[in-house]
Amino acid sequence: GESVGLHLPTLSVQEGDNSIINCAYSNSASDYFIWYKQESGKGPQFIIDIRSNMDKRQGQRVTVLLNKTVKHLSLQIAATQPGDSAVYFCAEKRNGGSQGNLIFGKGTKLSVKP
């Protein structure tokens, strides 16, 4: 069935390096995408979002890239820090669907080595 999925379940990076977390989606009707960070025992924390009429959006140390041709979304974290260690989820909202219904991927666990 249609789903949001992640290419890599785990990612280990050295402190100070850049991290790239990837996400594939299968529904071309999706028009809004969000990245969340979830630390152990906590709720998902909003990081950055992007609409389907954009291909790039930048925040503080984070950049989200959207490639609608191949239905691919990525989160880039610059100068990764130990505090970035968490599970990262991408989520999509489908155009025409209930705005409440975010479809989440399974998550990528990011581990930052000091």
Residue 33 identity (one-letter amino acid)? F
- CA distances, 74 to each of 21, 44, 96, 100 (Å): 6, 18, 24, 23
How far apart CA 45 and CA 89 sit, in angstroms, is 10
Listed residue (94, 82, 100, 107) closest to 15, CA to CA: 82
106 forms part of the interface with another protein (CB under 8 A): yes
Among 13, 62, 78, 103, binds another protein (CB under 8 A): 103
- Taking the complex as a whole, the smallest distance from the CB of residue 98 to another protein amounts, in Å, to 4
Task: Kindly state the DSSP code that residue 81 receives in the 8-state scheme.
Answer: -
7 forms part of the interface with another protein (CB under 8 A): no
107 forms part of the interface with another protein (CB under 8 A): yes
H or E element at residue 78: none
77 forms part of the interface with another protein (CB under 8 A): no
How far apart CA 27 and CA 79 sit, in angstroms, is 32
Q: What is the x/- site pattern for another protein, positions 18-57, by CB under 8 A?
A: --------------x-x-x-----xxxxx--x-x------
Nearer to another protein, 3 or 18 (CB): 3
Query: Which residues here bind another protein, judged by CB under 8 A?
Result: 4, 32, 34, 36, 42-46, 49, 51, 89, 91, 98-107
